[in-house]
Structure 1
């Protein structure tokens, strides 16, 4: 192997893995599906190894494909960094961004991947705090951007980018939700999700007791999964092992929450604008979180959340 690997072929290969299918990857790299397939055949010929194989209705990366992936990402990143280093117009600097810890787990990997690939010379300083704290930090100029929900940000102008349904949730392995008094694990007193959940329980005549109150979503999630309390969480915060409680369980439906960006008045540069657009694209491309599978004998209002991860290397069919 003396001739170099084609970077465009590597870019298409990574796009297939990230998009989950040949068809979607063709749209992302602005090529026809046949051109994408041809690039992969040429890359396989160049390496002398199969990178994908069909398994029923899916196409999976082979062991060679999984080995190539880390090399491909590193080569593409280095290529972009090299071009940026000699580009006088390349964006450089730093951006201060904040988001709640549950949003960091759900949304941050996609946002960082998109932004870092396009702007490798920009430093991101990231803070994880509740939405109400982030709104205050924005108003005082301590952050440039914040990804927040309507939890604790009443009166602040949010550039809404995503809607998520709110749910009462409990552990699928425990029956804490069956008690006459509902033990709650909710946010602090200024959290809108907490207020909405309590108001809904009061309107339907359910007794409750706030057992856990915290700014940390992880603490509240732990209390729910341990079977100690019922939580009020958005769809994106659901975890395997949770049960979504519905009307037949004695729990009312809740409204949707709005997720969006707060932007500091003084943060108006090209870097901030680019990051906002990357956030918008990332949230638009994310599927609803943790779509559950329901057994036929379960009540329609009760949903058990199970892991929906693909097997390593699984790619949706469609050459």
Structure 2
């Protein structure tokens, strides 16, 4: 029987991936750089594969290293869940989390499902509102954590994910190309609306805002009914939507950055527990090439676990 992988070596491997260097990883795992290098040599020997390749003065992951990264994160996460299940000193209390409803639909099932398994004594109080409203609640101390659209001009957040922002229309209704682009977007201070309008203005493309709402459900309904075009992050696209590209006459958009806001003074153990789950779950979402018809790619998320949580009315 093959020897099992060493958990400590996998911890060090992930630290190298996250920090981008052996030196920084050594500080994170409280080891010397030589000890870190030795662990990686042993891990490569155990797998019989090269995990890192020289890239100038640094190191980059090989294809085999990329493959191991996904397994390593899953192994470490499952290990942490198993240890927490037998921890008599597990975390307790209430954690107030804010997120826009489109992020809630796509990301929160896995995040809070896993967190509830690991920390069943923590009550999750979840608020769904636009990023700008969540930032205001954070400033007033009404939330502990907020997953928001990163916008350095209006708020400070730590970037935890970057992905393409896509133009979308209905896959089942033709889009007229002889009329102004009919838009379904958020309110005037919505960051995605501003990006969309700025891109169309720069491209000299006529458009008309037909639907304005903070609700991603309302925006999606207008798109799926063939009544409007909107912009969405790639991972939140829904079945029945088609991505519009430059071939359709739509200009490229800058990528979406998802940020994490944390209330100062929050219990370090509690904030570290939830932020670790958030970053791990977001990192676990993989995106392939964007097909024109999303019907061929969109999949349902795993079901949400039964949670002790309060869910406030959604908004975009």
Give the corresponding residue for 2:283: 284
What secondary structure sits across from 1:306 in the alignment?
A: helix
Tell me how far apart the structure 1 counterparts of residues 238 and 289 of structure 2 sit (CA, whole Å). 10
Change (3 A) 1:189 1:114: same
Q: 1:228-270: per-residue Cα shift (whole Å, max 9, x none)?
A: 0000111122112111111121110000010021111232431
Deviations 1:262-285 (A, max 9, x none): 111232431122101110111111
The root-mean-square deviation of aligned C-alpha atoms, in Å, is 2.9
Deviation at 1:179, TM superposition (A): 3.6
TM-score relative to the length of structure 2: 0.67
Q: Secondary structure at the match of 2:295?
A: coil
The runs of 4+ residues in structure 1 deviating greater than 3 Å are 23-30, 77-81, 290-293, 307-311
Q: 8 Å contact 2:150–2:159 — kept in the other structure? A: no
Instruction: Give the aligned partner of residue 94 of structure 2.
Output: 94
Structure 1 residues 49-93: Cα deviation after superposition (integer angstroms, max 9, x where no partner): xxxxxxxxxxxxxxxxxxxxxxxxxxxx99966x34xx1x21111
Structure of higher CA gyration radius: 1
Helix, strand or coil: the match of 1:194?
helix
Q: When the two structures are aligned, how many residues end up with a matched partner?
A: 232
Distance in 2 of aligned mates of 1:189 and 1:144: 27
Find the aligned partners of 1:256 and 1:310 in 2 and give their Cα distance: 22
Which residue of structure 2 aligns with residue 207 of structure 1?
Answer: 206
Per the normalisation by structure 1, the TM-score is 0.66
Provide the C-alpha distance between the structure 2 equivalents of 1:196 and 1:212, rounded to a whole number of angstroms.
Answer: 16
Q: Report the secondary structure of 1:178's partner residue.
A: coil
Matched, 1:105 2:105: yes
**For 1:161 and 1:208, how far apart are their aligned partners in 2?**
32
Once the two structures are superposed, the pairs formed by residues 72-151 of structure 1 within 5 Å of their partners are 83-84=86-87, 87=88, 89-150=89-150
Q: Which residue of 1 aligns with 2:191?
A: 192
Alignment of 1:166-245 (within 5 A): 166-245=165-244
Structure 2: runs of 5+ lacking an equivalent: 1-68, 303-316
